[in-house]
Amino acid sequence: MFSPDKAESSVPFPGNDGNDLTRALVSAESIVRTKHKAERQRAALRTARATQGVARAESLRVGIEHRCAHSLMDALPVDALLGADTTACEPGGMDTVIAQLALQCDEGLATRFGVPTIGTSSESDLDRAVLFALANRMDALSGAILLSGNFKHRHAHVLSSLMLNDETYVQRFAVRSPAVTSTCTSSGDKQTTRTVCLLTATFVLDERLAPCFKSASLVRQWALRGVTGEFVDDEEGEEVQGSA
């Protein structure tokens, strides 16, 4: 026999927890909220990393101007000094690798940065190794500008900063060349040409150990992959700086 009470009790109410439709809606909303939260976290992380990239590039230029070995070494990837050689992990292996890199450092570069001759001390050998590793990450033009010994941080004009992806950060800046070229015109007059060098510094995330309370933690920081440069004439350089 048909029973109205049993019929009503068998029909789920829209707000009932046992309603499959309600569970589906709650599940869909939670998925959307989780997705939006993940997107906000990702955007915040990219903003933080972009800010860290700006600070890293600034620290590198200041370190070059003031010949700060600590800043230069901190801007390099860990493998730039240790390399992939397994002997670096052996007792005395790291000192051997640093000594080999220090031996390859150009004497003129070491002199411009005030680094003593090789073998003077372990600290000076480390400074030479850092300079060699840094010079190897620059092309001829950018190395001549930044490692000339005359580079001034205030002469660098930042043009743009961009994160290409989550692992790569690029900054472009212009540096006016201190050299002045004089050329003779058809009338016999001398014309002074000032040149501007556009430098592009590329940074990648590098894993390294950081001190933590009674332990060490693994962090990811921007490290220099390389610097490339190109010359532009003075007028074009002014246009680029004006539009930045």
CB burial of residue 56 (10 Å; 0-12, 13-18, 19+): buried
pLDDT of residue 48: 92
The span from the CA of 34 to the CA of 117, in Å, is 59
pLDDT of residue 143: 94
161 and 232 part of one domain = yes
102 and 181 part of one domain = no
Average pLDDT over residues 75-99: 72
Instruction: Identify the domain boundary among 91, 121, 136.
Output: 136
144 and 201 part of one domain = yes
The span from the CA of 186 to the CA of 208, in Å, is 59
- Compute, in degrees rounded to 10, the torsion defined by CA atoms 203, 205, 209, 214: 120
**220: part of which helix (H) or strand (E)?**
strand 215-233
26 and 101 part of one domain = no
- Amino acid letter, 186: S
Average pLDDT over residues 83-111: 76
Instruction: Identify the domain boundary among 136, 159, 185.
Output: 136
pLDDT surpassing 80 at residue 147: yes
212 and 102 part of one domain = no
Domain that holds residue 58: 19-73+139-244
pLDDT of residue 98: 87
pLDDT surpassing 60 at residue 116: yes
In a domain, 212, yes or no: yes
Question: Any idea which of 9-23, 38-52, 122-136, 228-242 has the lowest mean pLDDT?
Answer: 9-23
In a domain, 9, yes or no: no
More confident residue, 87 or 168: 168
Q: Which residues contact 233 (CB under 8 A, 6 or more apart)?
A: 193, 195, 196
Identify the CA nearest to 74 among candidates 199, 228, 219, 229: 219
90 and 124 part of one domain = yes
CB burial of residue 235 (10 Å; 0-12, 13-18, 19+): exposed
The span from the CA of 195 to the CA of 178, in Å, is 8
More confident residue, 74 or 240: 74
pLDDT digits (tens, 9 = 90+) for 196-238: 899 999 999 998 877 778 778 888 899 999 999 998 865 545 5
In this prediction the pTM is 0.74
125 and 38 part of one domain = no
pLDDT of residue 13: 46
Token pair, residue 71, equals: 């800043």
Identify the CA nearest to 122 among candidates 97, 144, 156, 141: 97
**Per-residue confidence band for 244, with pLDDT thresholds at 50, 70 and 90:** very low
More confident residue, 41 or 195: 41
More confident residue, 180 or 53: 53
Q: DSSP states of 197-215 as a string? A: EEEEEEEEEEEEEEEETTE
pLDDT of residue 127: 92
61 and 172 part of one domain = yes
68 and 29 part of one domain = yes
pLDDT of residue 176: 82
Number of Cβ within a 10 Å radius of residue 68: 15
pLDDT of residue 1: 47
**Per-residue confidence band for 95, with pLDDT thresholds at 50, 70 and 90:** confident
pLDDT of residue 180: 46
151 and 173 part of one domain = yes
**Per-residue confidence band for 90, with pLDDT thresholds at 50, 70 and 90:** low
112 and 61 part of one domain = no
Instruction: Identify the domain boundary among 95, 114, 136.
Output: 136
3-class secondary structure, 11: coil
The span from the CA of 232 to the CA of 214, in Å, is 52
* Number of separate domains in the chain: 2
In a domain, 8, yes or no: no
In a domain, 10, yes or no: no
In a domain, 12, yes or no: no
Identify the CA nearest to 203 among candidates 130, 126, 155, 137: 137
The span from the CA of 152 to the CA of 51, in Å, is 23
pLDDT of residue 138: 96
Whole-number average pLDDT of the chain:
80
148 and 94 part of one domain = no
